């Protein structure tokens, strides 16, 4: 069987609108430019670093801002909707005996509340979270080591180019999804191993991972 490690925000959880609402409310306090709702779709073409420059968030305030955003999301964890089609696919992968885990920059408590609310908690071996925006690769490595998962049998499913970078840092293959925070053209530039527009494609990837490798 194969191992599927999942990002959370924008991959499993449809949390973009909640994050935009929270960050816009905190913008005056932290001294950065709010994001008009009309601009959200266009901003999906920016990397996380470009988005930071666009908004004018002072770099020194980013750790404190992340803590506040995570704390507020934690209060909403059980109310965040899953991305369309995700619950069915997660249950199918679990029933097929693939190993599933969540590796995210978000707080584990938020993810656990979300999984419990949507009856998905039993499907996941663990939830690893926290840290900074750009150190997710180390979280993936920690997850692999903790559960003794072989990188060659593992993919990391995410919605941003930093997820692709994190997967490659950890020696696993990236699967990029187009229903999250980054646009399809931006993800395509990073040439992930798979670029998918529908959660059902994860089942085909599972079949590919189990197929015997040709010598």
* H helices present in the chain, as ranges: 16-30, 40-43, 48-55, 62-76, 86-95, 108-117, 136-147, 161-170, 184-189, 201-210
Tell me, yes or no, if the pTM score tops 0.85: yes
Q: Is the dihedral of CA 10, 15, 16, 19 positive or negative?
A: negative
Q: What is the pLDDT at residue 12?
A: 98
Q: What are the per-10-residue average pLDDT scores of the chain (215 residues)? A: 95 92 92 84 85 86 89 86 97 97 94 96 94 82 96 97 96 97 95 98 94 58
The gap between the terminal CA atoms of the chain, to the nearest Å, is 20
Q: What is the pLDDT at residue 213?
A: 58
- What are the two backbone dihedrals, phi and then psi, of residue 81, each rounded to the nearest 5 degrees? -80, 150
Point out the catalytic residue in the list 7, 9, 159, 163: 7
Q: What is the pLDDT at residue 13?
A: 96
Q: Is the dihedral of CA 186, 174, 132, 73 positive or negative?
A: positive
Q: Does residue 41 contact residue 20 with C-beta atoms inside 8 Å?
A: no
Q: What is the pLDDT at residue 39?
A: 83
Q: Is 200 a known active-site residue?
A: no
């Amino acid at each position: 069987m194969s191992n599927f490690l999942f990002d959370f925000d924008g991959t499993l959880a449809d949390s973009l609108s909640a994050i935009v609402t929270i960050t816009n409310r905190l913008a005056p306090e932290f001294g950065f430019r709010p994001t008009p709702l009309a601009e959200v779709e266009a901003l999906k073409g920016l990397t996380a670093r470009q988005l930071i420059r666009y908004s004018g968030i002072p770099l020194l305030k980013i750790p404190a801002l992340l803590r506040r955003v995570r704390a507020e999301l934690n209060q909403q964890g059980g109310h965040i909707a899953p991305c369309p089609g995700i619950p069915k696919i997660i249950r199918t992968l679990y029933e097929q005996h693939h190993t599933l885990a969540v590796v995210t920059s978000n707080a584990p408590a938020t993810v656990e509340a979300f999984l419990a609310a949507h009856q998905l908690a039993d499907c996941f071996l663990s939830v690893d979270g926290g840290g900074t925006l750009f150190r997710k690769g180390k979280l993936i490595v920690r997850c692999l080591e903790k559960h003794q998962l072989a990188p060659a049998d593992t993919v990391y499913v995410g919605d941003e180019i930093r997820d692709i970078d994190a997967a490659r840092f950890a020696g696993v293959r990236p699967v990029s999804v187009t229903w999250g925070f980054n646009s399809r053209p931006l993800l395509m530039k990073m040439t992930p191993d798979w670029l998918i527009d529908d959660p059902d494609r994860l089942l085909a990837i599972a079949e590919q991972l189990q197929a015997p490798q040709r010598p």
